[in-house]
Structure 1
Amino acid sequence: MIMEKQGQWLLCPYCHGKTRVWLRGDTVLRNYLLFCPKCKQETLIDLRQFHITLLKQSDAKTQS
Structure 2
Amino acid sequence: MKKWIFCPLCNGKTRLQIVETTKMKDFPLFCPKCKREMLIEVNHYKVRMISQIK
Structure-2-length-normalised TM-score = 0.92
**In the TM superposition, what is the alpha-carbon distance from 1:55 to its structure 2 partner?**
1.1
Gaps of 5+ in 1: 1-5, 60-64
Higher RCO (Cα < 8 Å, 6 or more apart): 2
Taking the TM superposition and a 5 Å limit, the aligned residue runs for 1:20-31 are: 20-31=15-26
Structure 1 ranges of 4+ moved more than 2 A: none
Q: Can you give the 5+ residue segments of structure 2 that lack an aligned partner in the other structure?
A: none
Counterpart selection for 1:32 from 18, 27, 49: 27
CA RMSD of superposed structures (Å): 0.8
Q: CA separation in 2, counterparts of 1:38 and 1:19? A: 8
Q: CA deviation at 1:12?
A: 0.4
Q: How far apart, in 2, do the equivalents of 1:52 and 1:18 lie?
A: 13
The equivalent of 1:47 in structure 2 is: 42
Establish whether residue 9 from structure 1 lines up as the match of residue 4 from structure 2: yes
Structure whose alpha-carbon radius of gyration is higher: 1
Identity %: 37
Query: Whose strand fraction is larger, Structure 1's or Structure 2's?
Result: 2
